[in-house]
Structure 1
């Protein structure tokens, strides 16, 4: 009989025994309160701890993200550089350039040697206009053909067989360590495809080592039939064309001419990298100015991230002696580990700085105050960055720099595989799974208890009714005997 329905069999909802009509409901509720609710309360507390640990993980990761923005030499550059013609020249800072302006004129950009090998179109024109219709058809390529070329000071040879297709040949050349990109390109149309072999140097420049040449030093490939039949690469004959000659970059800076094999110029203006994109029609101006506040802003962001972690920890590990209330994470070993890692890393001497003046972060304006807050003196930081840029860089950046060590320790706490906070979350998750099993088991016990007492009280009421019937019969017998006397 279901909970609460037993009273429906009695007039007015009263039990013959005189017990409350909802006696079984009361007992079941008491049982549930005794065996289920404590477990559910434990799980609710566990859920709250899990959410707090996730929040701790998030704010701790923010410290690592902020530290990562101070871990490269370019992150500390107290300079900015701009180009008046960004489409032709972009500029990057790789050192400590001098403030001022530079006039740059790009006469030509560096380009890579690009060579085409196609099927013969039956003319003497050197332009490659024909190719094979199917780059995966082995019948389009002759068997036993040696394709040879020189590049970068070395010679390379590739030989076809009866199964070689144009795509196969391109792939073989491309995957070899020869400094050449190879592909089958459609020089025809989508309706009338004509695939040719394209070989392109991976390096720009007009020098001999950037060119793709045959064994005699002439531009192009050497094609030899090893079968002695004077056959060519393609069944119908082979043509070659220099689609693009290798070319050096040419530029002038403040009237001085330079030639370089690459479009990334690092040795013309100290501390700057010029990336050439196209020739200029008029001179471009490169302006360099000091911007120490950029690094200061990144450092302030790191300090703010650390203080956010500290505030979170203080809020959730506090204790009020007057009320006896304790924070939900008080005594948590993982929380202590996070706090200790931050304070130790930011306060210790940085390895590799023993032979320089700047060895601690407090020497560049980053230190903990008496209240445990991390403070930042931007003026002190910018002064150190201006007067001793190399020492500040060594202090903060590199594998042993303060920011790299901070990022490494943050990763040890938050890494999704084996971080300390991750391990704590996994432990909480395991405890939650066990609690769910215990709650389910407790609910089953309450359900069984419900059935047992429902049956027991139903039997009790049945017995009471039977006894009442016997009592009524005895009363009738006694009454009849009295009236007959």
Structure 2
């Protein structure tokens, strides 16, 4: 840079200023290239927006392409005797449920111990647990010098004990309380040898064992008697799980879950219109501000819109007859968005639910509208699809422009170096000429002064 700042010293000309103007003019060659790079980057971002909204639309299409959606059912319960949850296998219908009794777990409280610090078993031993179902009988090892709390902990630590142990105070002493882990008559705890294990260490008034046998649930479904060891009954109504709450009456109505189907169709419409809105913004021209969207006139966008519009307008053949969007309460408006007639959709769901399912999800032999759209969106979003191809093309263009930018920069540097060298040579040449001019002027002035002096001397 020192060579630049020294320019003009010899000649007195503003060569630095001139060189700066030339450099500014050369640098201007880079601006169009940088703008093209920026344009391509904006395009890539716009394609990314398209991918995002198309992906969201693809998700909504996938939901409608799932036959399970149209097989979903819901259960409504009146009365507080039961709660119900319907699965995919449930058949629509009405079921009257009468609960006579709910299933309970067996309980047993042992004889009393006067104090929690009392050693129940000095030598240790075995606590025998007996159940209505003898296969559940189990012995729990009790260590020497165990208190009532130690016995409780030993039971709860044994995974085969089939009871939960706790301690209760009945106002006169402490008892070991045992509750069966499972409900029902057969799982009921019915006895122990606690009095033998703790012989000699019980309270003065040990009292007797207090027990309450477990019981099975008893109910009727549409007049059919049902017994169950648990309060959760999964096989009384196919595909429906009943959860018994209390004795009493309830009505369970199983019906097709039209609300979920409707929500999926509304979501499909919203996702498509959101995609159209994004596309419109990216391809719009603002006449007032003179600004064009980054994808205005883009062939990829036109191809995507055309493919989806063709799928939507083609309809679906059902039993030899053509079904159209309008049959489902849907229509393509003038601006290309989808419009939904909610009343007509609700009517189709109520009167021809199988037709709605066939239109959107199709069957094993023929895809429905959602299946056709799914194939289209899958191709568009694939690594070999139109969007990814456009992104790759823009990235390749950016790489080419960056190479061109670098070459142009190098060319500008060489040009400026040449200007700098030429200006330095010019400055030196002009400086030498100025020195020569000054020398000659001095010499001529000197010659003129000598002649004048000689003439005056002669006159004297």
TM-score when normalising by structure 2: 0.62
Is it true that 1:341 corresponds to 2:307 in the alignment? yes
Partner of 1:268: 237
Tell me the distance in 1 between the aligned counterparts of 2:101 and 2:12: 107
Query: Which residue among 17, 23, 48 is the counterpart of 1:22?
Result: 17
Query: Which residue among 347, 351, 355 is the counterpart of 1:391?
Result: 355
Q: Is the 8 A contact 2:284 2:293 kept in 1?
A: yes
Query: Which residue among 338, 355, 376 is the counterpart of 1:409?
Result: 376
3-state DSSP of counterpart to 1:375: strand
1:64-96: CA deviations, max 9, x gaps? Answer: 1122222234434685325799x9964324466
Partner of 1:48: 42
* Cα-Cα RMSD: 4.4
Deviation at 1:285, TM superposition (A): 6.7
Q: Is the 8 A contact 1:71 1:396 kept in 2?
A: yes
Query: Which residue among 246, 262, 284 is the counterpart of 1:296?
Result: 262
Is it true that 1:7 corresponds to 2:5 in the alignment? yes
Instruction: Decide whether aligned partners of structure 1 residues 252 and 23 sit closer, same or farther in structure 2, where only a CA change above 3 A counts.
Output: farther
Tell me the distance in 2 between the aligned counterparts of 1:367 and 1:282: 52
Tell me the distance in 2 between the aligned counterparts of 1:418 and 1:128: 69
Q: Is the 8 A contact 2:304 2:380 kept in 1?
A: yes
Partner of 1:418: 384
Is it true that 1:369 corresponds to 2:333 in the alignment? yes
Instruction: Decide whether aligned partners of structure 1 residues 98 and 73 sit closer, same or farther in structure 2, where only a CA change above 3 A counts.
Output: farther
5 Å-filtered alignment, 1:77-116, equals: 80-81=74-75, 90-94=85-89, 97-98=92-93, 102=97
Partner of 1:316: 282
Tell me the distance in 1 between the aligned counterparts of 2:246 and 2:68: 31
Instruction: Decide whether aligned partners of structure 1 residues 363 and 484 sit closer, same or farther in structure 2, where only a CA change above 3 A counts.
Output: same
Deviation at 1:459, TM superposition (A): 2.3
Deviation at 1:6, TM superposition (A): 2.0
5 Å-filtered alignment, 1:395-474, equals: 395-398=359-362, 400-415=367-382, 417-474=383-440
Q: Is the 8 A contact 1:60 1:309 kept in 2?
A: yes
Partner of 1:256: 224
Which sections of structure 2, spanning at least 5 residues, go unmatched? 104-136, 141-217, 452-460
Q: Is the 8 A contact 2:358 2:368 kept in 1?
A: yes
Deviation at 1:20, TM superposition (A): 4.8
Deviation at 1:377, TM superposition (A): 0.8
1:20-46: CA deviations, max 9, x gaps? Answer: 532222211211112x11110101111
Task: Give the structure with the higher percent helix.
Answer: 2
Tell me the distance in 1 between the aligned counterparts of 2:34 and 2:299: 25
Deviation at 1:259, TM superposition (A): 10
Q: Is the 8 A contact 2:75 2:253 kept in 1?
A: yes
Q: Is the 8 A contact 2:63 2:69 kept in 1?
A: yes
Which sections of structure 1, spanning at least 5 residues, go unmatched? 109-125, 130-249
3-state DSSP of counterpart to 1:57: helix
3-state DSSP of counterpart to 2:315: coil
Tell me the distance in 2 between the aligned counterparts of 1:316 and 1:65: 22
Q: Is the 8 A contact 1:78 1:290 kept in 2?
A: yes
